[in-house]
Structure 1
Amino acid sequence: MSSIPKCTEVVAAEKEESNGDQDAFPYKITKVDAEVNKELLKYFTGERTGFVQVGPKKWFLPSGYEREAAKYYNFRVKPDDIFVVTFPRSGTTWMQEMVWLLENDLNYEKAAETHLKRRFPFLEYSSILHKKTKEEFLRENTHDEEKYQAVQNMDYPAWKIFDELPGRRFIKTHLPFSLLPQNLLQVGCKVIYLARNPKDVAVSFYHFSRSSRTLGYVGDFPRFWNYFERNLQLWAPYWEHIKEGWSRRNEENLLFLFYEDINKVISSAASKKVSNFLGKKYSDSEYETLAEHLDIENFRRNKSVNLDNIKGLGVLISGEEGFVRNGKCGGWKDYFDEELNARADRWIDENLKDTDLKFPGLN
């Protein structure tokens, strides 16, 4: 795998690519209402400029997205690419690890040696890390050249990394289908869409938003849910995201999965289903070994999938929950009181009434 370019190259690349061809992007990008934006910046301290909404569905994204929107939309897809597409905190990392291992002959040794973020880069991460937040990380790491360089490289554009990678590319994204290349499912590549019920997603996203300084959430969970329900969270609207995936579930190159279903049958059935979709086949014992590797207790201790590598850079806040939490279904029950749960149920029912989409074991 190609190494990440040095910091001087990163700066040059940012200058070169910052004026992407927005004419090639079909949607209007507008700033969030000024008063709403002011409030959001107070509670989401990782973003320093503000938030934008994209197209008629008003996809909610940070200011940095506008700079690279066309790059994602016009990203050159290859027939042997593999995408994992999810709304955040839907089992993304777990699915990435499963997919990479299935496609690489269950090479656990290589997986352990190379962090997942290098094996399976995050397409739009360079839009998420605000430049001023990055400057803070740089100042905090000036005493250590290696750490300083690591921070400098953090927001090197993944679409540029993918252009440099030889062989099969593994691509993670939280962008919805309408903001991704429109030929994504026609060129032959494989796309796995993983969906998780909104209550568990919100709880997991809340903890991650508190722990990551790139997001820097400083409020409580009820306030977080309020923003989530109002589509004022990154990559929202949640329902539009899920419904776009659901509407394409019968296309040949898309595998739509519910986190709740595969979480229940992680022993081997889930791996077999993904394996069959990818055209790979292993023995029953190999699937069982993979299931053990992906078991939440082992997964939580797996340094090549956790974010321990950036914790030392000051990106994660000590004392908050880890990147890989408990992985269980129904953990939302510890966060919703009776009133908030009733409100959430009304919101869910309203958004499900005109669709045959049903989450396993939501209530």
Structure 2
Amino acid sequence: MAITKLNQSQSSNGAQNEQQLSKDCDELLSTLPKERGQRTPNLYFYQGFWCQPKEIQAIMSVQRNFIAQDSDIILATIPKSGTTWLKAISYAIVNRYNFPVQNDHPLLSSNPHELVPFLEYKLYADNNIPDFSTFPSPRLVATHVPFSALPESVKRSGCRVVYLARNPFDTFVSIWHYLGKLRPESLGPLPLEEAFDAYCRGVIGYGPYWDHLLGYWNESLEKTGKVLFLRYEEMKQDANAQLKRLAEFLGFPFSIEEEKGGLVENISNLCSFQTLKDLVVNKHGKGAIFADSENKDLFRKGKVGDWINYLTPVMAERLTNIMNEKLSGSNLSFSVL
């Protein structure tokens, strides 16, 4: 089976992000509510969530052009909630017959974002229309868009959607650190307090966070065979159990022989945060998502509860109250420490 890697990337330069837009996207932006962005000059409120201009253009193209197949697997997350990890383990599970867990595994030389490309960044970015004829089956792709904004073919087809959620406290801290790495100097530094206020108001890429969560959560309850909802904290607590759950959902369950042979543990170790972080491609490589971004910036701590070192008690109380209100009645909750 061929390894599919794409090199088209979206620039992280704020000025470029609002240039070179198609006419229809440019006209659309003029009609949308906007707020100051944290990586680009502005974020725009599009179809119920906040996005950067070039992301909106790509999402429009995805919605128009992507035709889902029943065998497709869509990995969905909000930024900085374990996306790289989910891509790695899903790729290893689905491709384990073609790429056994050994010294020459593709994950040891390629960043997970190269092996499982984003629809709105790699595949449909910059007016590209991808050629899926080179993709092996099942096609494994990823997205940050809310469930409501997925192409209609995804919702109607038999394809599977996996959503990984992380507690809102650690997600915010991870986003803040990451945006600080990508933010152009022309926009100045990104104060924690300013970023936190925007987050709490829902003005964050692909936010509001709670709406993003609930969209996939509710679908997972209504369509158990269609959408699998995973929690980052549960994966950290018992990775092997969650790997088996994921493999079962994807239609690639582990056999008794594989489990006895230690394959689940081997995949878990191959895809662990520390293993991936220490690889040459992730320590020194560039462009896994954005052309001028460092792969190492995708790996910080990967811990549960690190937020306590950044948020004051007042900030924590504010976010707690917001999440309690927004998730009320949903039976959705998170471990935060």
3-state SS of paired residue (2:292): coil
**How far off is 1:213 after superposition?**
4.1
Q: Quick one: distance in 1 between partners of 2:55 and 2:7?
A: 22
Q: Contact 1:97–1:305 (CA<8 Å) still a contact in 2?
A: no
Query: What is aligned with 1:54?
Result: 46
The TM-score, its normalising length taken from structure 2, stands at 0.80
Question: What is the percentage of aligned positions where both structures have the same residue?
Answer: 22
Q: Contact 1:194–1:257 (CA<8 Å) still a contact in 2?
A: yes
Query: What is aligned with 2:117?
Result: 121
Which one-letter code corresponds to 2:134 in the other structure? L
Q: Quick one: distance in 2 between partners of 1:328 and 1:115?
A: 20
Q: Quick one: distance in 2 between partners of 1:113 and 1:294?
A: 13
From 82, 92, 107, the counterpart of 1:101: 92
Query: What is aligned with 1:355?
Result: 330
Query: What is aligned with 1:274?
Result: 246
1:206 aligns with 2:176: yes
Which one-letter code corresponds to 1:161 in the other structure? P
**How far off is 1:165 after superposition?**
3.1
Residue pairs, 1:245-284, within 5 angstroms: 245-250=216-221, 251=223, 252-266=225-239, 268-280=240-252, 281-282=254-255, 283-284=258-259
Listed as ranges, the gaps of 5+ residues in structure 2 are 10-19
RMSD across aligned positions (CA)? 3.5
Which one-letter code corresponds to 1:262 in the other structure? M
Q: Quick one: distance in 1 between partners of 2:117 and 2:168?
A: 25
3-state SS of paired residue (1:183): helix
Q: Contact 1:115–1:305 (CA<8 Å) still a contact in 2?
A: yes
Query: What is aligned with 1:230?
Result: 201
Q: Deviations over 1:13-35 (max 9, x none)?
A: xxx9935799xxxx9984335xx
Q: Deviations over 1:172-219 (max 9, x none)?
A: 110001111123143121210111111110000111111124797722
Q: Quick one: distance in 1 between partners of 2:212 and 2:284?
A: 26
Which one-letter code corresponds to 1:193 in the other structure? Y
Q: Contact 2:50–2:206 (CA<8 Å) still a contact in 1?
A: yes
1:193 aligns with 2:163: yes
Query: What is aligned with 1:89?
Result: 80
The TM-score, its normalising length taken from structure 1, stands at 0.75
1:297 aligns with 2:274: yes
Residue pairs, 1:132-143, within 5 angstroms: none
**How far off is 1:99 after superposition?**
0.4
